[in-house]
Amino acid sequence: MNKINPKKFQKSITEELNTIKDRVRNLVGNAHWGEDGRYKEAILKNVIRRFLPTNLSIGTGFVIRKNNKDEPQVSKQIDIIIYESTIPVLFSEGDFVITTYKNVRGIVEVKTKIRIGELQEIMQKAKENGELIGKDIFNGIFSYEFDGNINSNTIDQALKGAKNCVNHISLGPDMFIRFWKREDRNKLDPPVKNCQNDFYNVYELRNLSFSYFISNLLELTCISELDDRWWFLYPIVGTKERHRMKTVCLKD
């Protein structure tokens, strides 16, 4: 019997995204950056869609929620919305949707390349959308490429500003960032000993950042436990904590 290779499968997701991400640019050059960006959103949506259960849908658009003055507030445009399809949306046309916060399970901001100086502004937009939705959801930033030093203090300040509203970040195929609650400190192997508060861990996952981003999205948006497939979703032997580069501790 041939052995299956989940790590190779997960790496193939990164390879696929990297293979097709430049096709539009190769055809049109630098003339239509907006179309190039929309194409990359579509690529990621199509990959995520393959893995979603039938009760979840994926689109792009806006989320509406009333504030404490009973006035409707509209989110900024959201590149990817994962939403519960058993609850009606307010409007849909193709992949474009407008819905209320109740059926939103996850949101993603998609970028072709993030330069380190842009990260704080991108994080702020994702944070504002997350705060408007106002419940525990997958709130991610996905960038096909990253230009900068992951150890820069600029990264730390951007993460501290986002707090717990942005919880998963993929910066190119190798760098993955995840938010953890303080009670998770001693559950990790090795444990986090230099922080008593909520925190972000920064990992270097060679050619696995994209797939770990998607695996975490699936875990947090599905209502059923996925504990029968951890070995498939997270195939790094000894857990990704062995690839932890640093911890960014948040203040109370």
Taking only the tens place, the pLDDT of each residue in 110-158 is 999 999 999 999 999 999 999 999 878 999 999 999 999 999 999 999 9
38: Cβ contacts below 8 Å, ≥ 6 apart: none
Phi, psi of 39 (to 5 degrees): -65, -40
Percent of the chain residues topping a pLDDT of 70: 94
Average pLDDT over residues 233-241: 87
Say what the pTM is. 0.93
CA-closest candidate to residue 61, choices 113, 102, 100, 114: 100
- Mean pLDDT rounded to a whole number for the chain: 91
Q: Would you say 217 and 82 are in contact if contact means Cβ atoms under 8 Å apart?
A: yes
Query: What per-residue string of b and e applies to 89-109 under the rule 16 or more CB within 10 Å gives b?
Result: beeeeebebbbbbebbbbbbb
Six-digit token pair at 191?
């444990």
- pLDDT tens for 40-61 read 899 999 999 999 999 999 999 9
